[in-house]
Structure 1
């Protein structure tokens, strides 16, 4: 498979997600519950296609820690290859085998961002306390509620991410890892340590989509879904080295794009309101 073919596959995946959004939206007012379930299945199907084949994708339920603490309800979980098949249909997912958690929205709104960031922070802290492991936590959506000016919408979302993270996240590792809006762009967490450039402390921010003019129409420099999957693979390779080869191949394709970010949205961590001191650095 050439790198260009990989890029074209994700363009196709993005188009399919947009068509599904139009179909689901036609009936959403009649039955929002069914519309939400269909949206989740769209994303679950995509993760089954594009995340490593040994991961097991399950929908709905809560993540149960060995301590007895359970997370808020989640939409999709990616479970390790060793997860017992008999437990896949159960709706209490064993935290020790959870690799990634995904919240799904059909049309993303501001309160979804804040609620997901708060849930992600609580879940990550609980899983780490009980099992000493990190997990990936992402928010995905077919579309959004902020209108058609892509650049302005990107600024709004970047601001909401920074605002909600400041209010709900007390350790860099407990941050929401990414937001992917299929028809707009992806925001991915970056955590750096560079005293010469930033001064003392760890710095975190979200690298948002870069918009370019494509045939007279503004768009991102790469597929939002391709960028999200490539970032997720890279993050998975930090959790388990067996995914490094696949993550490297996707990274070479250019699917992550060039990204963009504003210094006003930087968060500098000089002290953590958590007993956990280790910080994972992601560039």
Structure 2
């Protein structure tokens, strides 16, 4: 499979999501509940197609920690291959086997970003406290509610992510890992430590969509492709079985070229969480 073929598959997947969005939106006024469920199933279907085949994708429910604490309701979870089949239809997902969590929106609005950042931070802290494990947590949407031009919307969302992180996240590992808007672009979390560049401490920021490459040429990176490639890289950090696939997708260039504003860099020197370990993702 060539790089061009893999990229084209994700462009096709993105187009399918856009078509589904138009269909769902046409019915959303008369039955918003069903429209929301259909949107979640669109994303669940995409994840089943493109994440490793041994992961089990389930919709709706809460994540239950071994100490009895449960998260807010979540839309989609990716469960480990070890997950008991007898629990797959239950709506309390066992935290020890949750690999990734996805919140889904048909039309993304500003309040969805802040609310999901807050939910992600609480859930990740609870799961780590009970089980000593990190999980990937992302927000996905078919489209968005902003009417400005593409560059203005990207800039505004980048600021919202940075502001929400500062307001609700007390440890770098508890940040929302990514935001994917199928018809616009994807933002992925970067966490770096380089004293020569940033000074002491750890720096985090969201690498947002870029529409030009290093040579000034136009870059056409699939938002869904970037999200899947990044999710695979996060999964491979905790499970070495996924490293080969994550490396392949990375070599194919699916993560694309990101961009960020220096004003949105966040420097971490003191953590509210008891844990000190920080996952570094460049």
Question: Same fold judged by TM-score > 0.5?
Answer: yes
Q: TM-score, normalised by structure 1?
A: 0.97
SS of the equivalent of 2:254 reads coil
The residue that corresponds to 2:52 in the other structure is: 52
CA distance in 2 between counterparts of 1:109 and 1:220 reads: 26
Is 2:166 the counterpart of 1:197? no
CA-atom RMSD in angstroms: 1.2
| CA deviation profile, 1:80-101 (whole Å, cap 9, x unmatched) | 0010111000000000000000
Note if 1:27 corresponds to 2:35: no
SS at match of 1:17: helix
Give the corresponding residue for 2:236: 237
- Residue 221 of structure 1 and its aligned partner are, at CA, apart by 2.7
How big is the shift at 1:2?
Answer: 1.6
Paired position in structure 2 for 1:61 = 61
Deviation for aligned residue 1:106: 0.1
For residue 211 of structure 1, give the secondary structure of its aligned residue in structure 2: coil
How far the C-alpha of 1:37 sits from its partner, in A, is 0.3
Q: What is the rounded CA distance, in whole Å, between the counterparts of 1:108 and 1:247 in structure 2?
A: 28
- In structure 1, runs of 5+ residues without a counterpart are 214-218
What is the match of residue 16 of structure 1? 16
Partner of 1:164: 164
Distance 2:255 2:272 in 1: 32
SS at match of 2:139: strand
How many corresponding residue pairs? 279
TM alignment of 1:1-283, pairs within 5 A: 1-212=1-212, 221-283=220-282
User: How many angstroms apart in 1 are the aligned matches of 2:268 and 2:109?
Assistant: 28
Distance 1:133 1:156 in 2: 32
Per-residue deviation at 1:175? 0.2
1: CA distance, partners of 2:129 / 2:44: 28
Instruction: Say whether the 8 Å CA contact 1:210–1:259 is kept in structure 2.
Output: yes
Structure 2 distance, partners of 1:47, 1:41, is 10
